[in-house]
């Protein structure tokens, strides 16, 4: 039987995903009618990206699941018209990209690479960086991305603490959880990596109090979401030098407005939400596998917990 899959995302995404999705559905033995337009009552699955025109899911009466192309679901999870199961993206290439980006920025700070880049001036100034074992790193968020990054950093020799909502045991990491575990996780963080989702519980988690708990001269790397950090508190901590540097990939407003003080702050590096991207080839296989599961009556992968918001 033909399965109707509505691709509800921008034109640009359609041109990127059309061929790999078609191929992935065929690989999974699925007979799929994939289109950007079809009568809502005939749609079996929706492949969704946040800036889609579909905002009211009520007419999609026979839709079995909404399959998000992105890992973060904050723009859809609270949609009250969405009664269908919601799956988020867990894509091996997205994870690999995040591991590379986080590791690169942690190493940049750890090795003080900026110091040497700014001193190509003929002066022989020797500042030998510590080895990784002397640089504690904390990763807030031990999900798909946070765990992969934390393990990669631990593999390089950093003592890594990971923090999550629920208790976890991850070999090679010190793990802490919940409100009771946050202070200790922050207190040891010479480099703090944020890989939490944007939920009502995580908004402004990194406020003035949390920043003050970090060791003097700590560095922050945020590829998670902008609202995790209280911007004004961060700017104040940067001005004081308590936080030595912040590398920020995500912001409350994106694109980050031209006049935002982060752009010109000497202790801030802005990157334009490029830490890692869902890759069409691998992500299409994840989507196809979920459609196959839906058709076989098997549980969907990567379902979002609507109550928790991630
Ligand atoms: P997951 O859902 O797999 O993991 C989320 C982690 O956050 C889990 O460990 C979870 O704890 C923890 N968490 C959630 N709420 C709380 C809380 N209130 N207190 C403590 N811990 C909490 O997500 P991913 O790892 O796949 O992705 C993380 C985020 O990365 C995404 O939500 C997105 O915002 C961001 N992202 C950014 C990209 C970029 O290019 N900048 C690209 C892709 C994603 P527990 O394990 O107990 O459930």
Ligand 1 atom showing the smallest separation from residue 177 Cα: 20
Structure tokens at 111: 């090795």
- Nearest-angstrom CA–CA distance, 271 and 206: 19
We report the CATH number of the domain holding residue 76 as 3.40.50.720
Extract the tokens encoding 164: 């999550």
Distance 11 CA to ligand 1 centre (A): 28
Same domain, 123 and 185: yes
Asked if 114 and 173 sit in the same domain, the reply is yes
- Residue 86 has what pLDDT? 98
Count CB neighbours of 155 within 10 A: 12
103 plus 187 within the same structural domain: yes
- Domain match, 29 and 86 both: yes
Residue 301 lies in a domain: no
**225 noted as active-site residue:** yes
Domain count for the chain:
2
Q: How far is the CA of 139 from the centre of ligand 1 (A)?
A: 11
pLDDT of residue 99: 98
* 55 and 110 both lie in a single domain: no
Do 224 and 197 meet the contact criterion of CB atoms below 8 Å apart? yes
Please work out whether the CB of residue 143 comes within 6 Å of at least one atom of ligand 1. yes
Q: Are 287 and 224 within one domain?
A: no
Residues 28 and 39 in one domain: yes
Contact between 213 and 188 (Cβ < 8 Å): no
What pLDDT is attached to residue 290?
98
85 and 159: one domain?
no
Answer yes or no: do 36 and 163 share one domain: no
Q: CA torsion 210→149→263→217, rounded to 10°?
A: 50
Catalytic residue among 88, 225, 267, 285: 225
The domain in which residue 29 lies consists of: 3-91+278-296
Ligand 1: distance of its center to the CA of 195 in Å? 5
In a domain, 310, yes or no: no
Q: Which residues pair with 226 in a beta bridge?
A: none
Between CA 34 and CA 50 the distance in angstroms is 19
The answer, yes or no, to whether ipTM is higher than 0.90 is yes
63 CB less than 6 Å from ligand 1?
A: no
Distance CA 96, CA 12 (A): 23
Residues of the chain where predicted confidence (pLDDT) is lower than 70 = none
Residue with CA at minimum distance from ligand 1 atom 35: 224
32, 2 contact by CB (below 8 A) = yes
For residues 146 and 263, membership in a common domain is answered with yes
């Amino acid at each position: 039987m033909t399965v109707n899959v509505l691709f509800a995302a921008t034109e640009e995404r359609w041109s990127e995903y059309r061929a790999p999705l078609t191929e992935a559905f065929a690989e999974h033995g699925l007979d799929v009618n994939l289109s950007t337009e079809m009568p809502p009552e005939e749609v079996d699955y929706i492949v969704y990206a946040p800036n889609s025109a579909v905002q009211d899911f009520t007419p999609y009466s026979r839709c079995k699941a909404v399959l998000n192309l992105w890992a973060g679901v904050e723009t859809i999870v609270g949609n009250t018209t969405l009664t269908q199961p919601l799956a988020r993206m867990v894509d091996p290439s997205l994870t690999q990209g995040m591991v590379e980006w986080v590791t690169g920025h942690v190493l940049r700070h750890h090795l003080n690479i900026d110091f040497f880049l700014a001193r190509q001036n003929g002066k022989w100034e020797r500042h030998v960086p510590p080895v990784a074992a002397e640089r504690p790193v904390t990763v807030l968020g031990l999900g798909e991305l946070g765990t992969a990054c934390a393990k990669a950093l631990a593999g390089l020799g950093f003592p890594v603490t990971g923090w999550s909502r629920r208790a976890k045991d991850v070999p090679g990491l010190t793990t802490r959880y919940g409100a009771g575990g946050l202070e200790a996780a922050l207190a040891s963080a010479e480099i703090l990596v944020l890989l939490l989702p944007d939920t009502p519980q995580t908004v402004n988690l990194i406020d003035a109090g949390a920043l003050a708990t970090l060791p003097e001269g700590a560095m922050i790397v945020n590829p998670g979401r902008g609202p995790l950090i209280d911007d004004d508190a961060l700017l104040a901590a940067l001005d004081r030098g308590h936080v030595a540097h912040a590398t920020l990939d995500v912001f409350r407003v994106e694109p980050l407005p031209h006049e935002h003080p982060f752009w010109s702050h000497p202790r801030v590096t802005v990157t334009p939400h490029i830490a890692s991207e869902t890759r069409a080839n691998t992500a299409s296989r994840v989507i196809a596998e979920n459609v196959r599961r839906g058709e076989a009556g098997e549980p969907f992968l990567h379902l979002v917990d609507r109550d928790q918001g991630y």
